[in-house]
Structure 1
Amino acid sequence: MPFSSLGLSPILLKTLADQSFTDPTPIQELVIPAILSKKDVLAIAKTGSGKTASYVLPLLMNLEGSIGLKNRHANVLVLVPTRELAEQVKDVFKTFSEPLAQSVKIIAVYGGVSINPQMMALQGINILVATPGRLLELVSLNSVHLSGIETLVLDEADKMLNLGFKDELNKIIALLPERRQNILLSATLTDDLEQIHQVLLHEPLVIKIAVEEASLDLIRQVAYVVSAEKKGPFLRYLINHHEMKQVLVFASSVQQVDAVVNKLRKNKIDAKAIHSKKSQGARTEALAHFKSGKLRVLVSTDLMARGIDINFLPFVINYELPRSPKDYIHRIGRTGRADVFGDAISLVSESELHHFEVIQKKMGRQVSLITKNLDEI
């Protein structure tokens, strides 16, 4: 099914072609027509399935005629869990809105940066992408008003609830007009999300795109049994031995991320950290350099992972295992995309072996487990 059959305007179809988008993904085929017809939508699909474009395209079309009715009254509100995702969503909106005849103002607001420039930028806002905490701050300062919201989007809704944003979401929803379109997008359907779905959505179209086994088939997985104190030297050995030019490394805490980066840089391996304690400028720069191939190693916590979306990332390394098997699958899913094979390597200490067995069982895959004699390296 081509994009031209989904009801999109000729100018958006041309922009899709210019951006080398050929055929819609399964979720785009279902979500785009539903949003165009102003239906509520609950869409469950894995990260990287095309969820963002599935709502950006039809919402831009639906905005026609309602732009600029009241100052500081946004038409569309998109709530996201992290700064990185806010910037990513804003960029997608800008890419597709630039060729439109009618000017659309899109702003992303989030904490960790000065609030004053954001307050000034909200003049004439049409589409607001926001993290919940910063949005409530701006509302309290009368910098933006939510009474004119026509469509509410909760993107990565499961992550927002996991990060404890439930109270903030409830406060925001209470400020919105009762009559509006609601769109929930999530990688998983949790109990908390099911409760919000029951309260928030009115006769929604429910779309669940199962994670295809083929996506894991593109990921070559291997694990090494390595003591905790030897993980650093072994990580450096892997990067150098395999001549890795672009590798994403996951650690479980901010402190461990910084420690890994410091050790890599001391050993002349170009690396940067991305986590919640870094300034927004540092995070944006590190991610941009990594995506462009200028940075060899990016070390991240799970919190930052959802803003890292690279089609041809060759290597992912789990320096430590995540707590959740779902987070493990999400981590390794950064590679093996766009029909290109990728490698996922896990460093597993003796104390992590039982947890790694649980991960493999939940994933339904056995991973080769190799005991490496580090004295031979």
Structure 2
Amino acid sequence: MSFTTLGLSEPLLKAISIQQYTQPYPIQREAIPVILKGHDLLGIAKTGSGKTASFVLPILEWFQTKGAPKNRSIRVLVLVPTRELALQVVDVFQLFGQNLPRRVKAMAVYGGVSINPQMIGLQHVEILVATPGRLLDLLSHKALSISETEILVLDEADKMLNMGFADEMKDIFFLLPKKRQSILFSATLGDDVEAIHQGILKNPVKIDIPEEEQNLDLITQTAYFVDPERKGPLLRYLIKTREMKQVLVFVSATRTADNLVEKLLKNGIQAAAMHSQKSQGARVETLQKFKSGKLTVLVATDLVSRGIDIEFLPYVINFELPRSPKDYIHRIGRTGRAGASGEAISLIIPADTHHFKIIQKKMGKRVEMFESYDLELTGY
């Protein structure tokens, strides 16, 4: 199935084609036609399954037949748990909407920064992507209105509830019009998410995309014990001595990603970073270069790694371990796909030893460990 079968118009299909999206993900195949028909939706799918485009594309389609709005009256409200996700969602709206006949202004608002520039920037905004606390702040300043909002999206509802936003969400729901289309996406359906969907969704279509079991048998896993100050040289040593041509390196923070790329470039290794501080357009361009072989190393954080889907990726390196065993399995699962073998390497500093044992226990596999102390890393 392609995007052409989902009911999207030619301008939007062209925008999808420009970004080199070919086949919709399962959640997109199921959700887009439902949202286009105006039904409420309850979507259960794991993080990184393509949920954002599932609502962005039909919402942009919906706007193509709508006239100009009242100023500061938000027509589409997307609630998200974090600043990073707010920026990411707005990027996707802008990416697909930039060349459409009916242009739509989308904006992200979140706490931790001055509210005044956000109040000024709300002029003529039609799509607002907001964290709950900052939205209530803006409403208290009368900087916008949601009394005529026509579409509400809750993205990562379970995470919003886990972060303690339940009361804020209830306050926001009270201010919204009763007549609207409501869309709720969540990775899980616990009692708290169930209670919210019972309260805000009307006869919703329920879509549940089961999480695929990751087959780790095709992935050779190894790890190196290393002191913190030798991690960078060891990474470069492995890439150069093993003549790696395409390697995905995972880190835990955007600053680490940028610093790592700087060191790789200084040592003659073509590399680029992909993280939440990069625009969606920049991330797409970087990923295309990596897939085509123009980049040897792509350094990524977990937040954006969900969108990295490469059929024949030979190497994944954990420069830093993720917090959870599930994230570890997701990371290494970027390789060993489509029946091809792959290799996953982890760099383990002394402080990681206990955590890595837990990861191996949860995974049900033992990873072969190597000492790196006798490796001559001078010059790397």
TM-score (norm 2): 0.75
| 1:2-41 correspondence runs (5 A) | 2-41=2-41
Q: Tell me how far apart the structure 1 counterparts of residues 342 and 83 of structure 2 sit (CA, whole Å).
A: 27
One-letter amino acid matched to 1:82? T
The alpha-carbon distance between structure 1 residues 75 and 254, as it changes in their structure 2 partners (threshold 3 A), is closer
Q: Does 1:44 align with 2:44?
A: yes
Q: Is the 8 A contact 2:249 2:319 kept in 1?
A: no
> Please, what is the CA RMSD of the aligned residues?
4.2
Q: Tell me how far apart the structure 2 counterparts of residues 154 and 339 of structure 1 sit (CA, whole Å).
A: 36
The alpha-carbon distance between structure 1 residues 206 and 176, as it changes in their structure 2 partners (threshold 3 A), is same
Q: Per-residue deviation at 1:74? A: 0.9
Match of 2:62 in 1: 62
User: Which deviates the most, 265-274 or 159-168?
Assistant: 265-274
Match of 1:248 in 2: 249
Q: Per-residue deviation at 1:35? A: 0.9
| 1:326-341 correspondence runs (5 A) | 326-332=326-332
For residues 23-64 of structure 1, what are the alpha-carbon distances to aligned partners after superposition, in whole Å with 9 as ceiling and x for unaligned? Answer: 332212210121122222122223443222211122223335
Q: Tell me how far apart the structure 2 counterparts of residues 117 and 335 of structure 1 sit (CA, whole Å).
A: 43
Q: Per-residue deviation at 1:189? A: 3.7
For residues 220-248 of structure 1, what are the alpha-carbon distances to aligned partners after superposition, in whole Å with 9 as ceiling and x for unaligned? Answer: 35241526657635445434444567643
Q: Is the 8 A contact 2:74 2:125 kept in 1?
A: yes
Match of 2:71 in 1: 71
Q: Tell me how far apart the structure 2 counterparts of residues 316 and 53 of structure 1 sit (CA, whole Å).
A: 26
Unmatched 5+ residue regions in structure 1?
none
Q: Does 1:102 align with 2:115?
A: no
Q: Per-residue deviation at 1:151? A: 1.4
Q: Per-residue deviation at 1:206? A: 1.9
Q: Per-residue deviation at 1:76? A: 0.7
Q: Per-residue deviation at 1:322? A: 3.4
The alpha-carbon distance between structure 1 residues 172 and 369, as it changes in their structure 2 partners (threshold 3 A), is farther
One-letter amino acid matched to 1:374? Y
Same amino acid, percent of matched pairs: 49
Q: Tell me how far apart the structure 2 counterparts of residues 295 and 111 of structure 1 sit (CA, whole Å).
A: 37
Q: Tell me how far apart the structure 2 counterparts of residues 368 and 334 of structure 1 sit (CA, whole Å).
A: 17
Q: Does 1:309 align with 2:310?
A: no
Unmatched 5+ residue regions in structure 2?
none
Q: Is the 8 A contact 1:88 1:307 kept in 2?
A: no
Provide the secondary structure at the position in 2 that maps to 1:72: coil
User: Which deviates the most, 23-32 or 82-91?
Assistant: 82-91
Q: Is the 8 A contact 2:109 2:134 kept in 1?
A: yes
One-letter amino acid matched to 2:147? S
Q: Tell me how far apart the structure 1 counterparts of residues 188 and 124 of structure 2 sit (CA, whole Å).
A: 35
The alpha-carbon distance between structure 1 residues 341 and 33, as it changes in their structure 2 partners (threshold 3 A), is farther
| 1:226-305 correspondence runs (5 A) | 226=225, 229=228, 232=231, 234-242=234-242, 247-251=248-252, 257=256, 298=299, 300=301, 305=303
| 1:176-187 correspondence runs (5 A) | 176-187=176-187
Q: Tell me how far apart the structure 2 counterparts of residues 106 and 218 of structure 1 sit (CA, whole Å).
A: 44
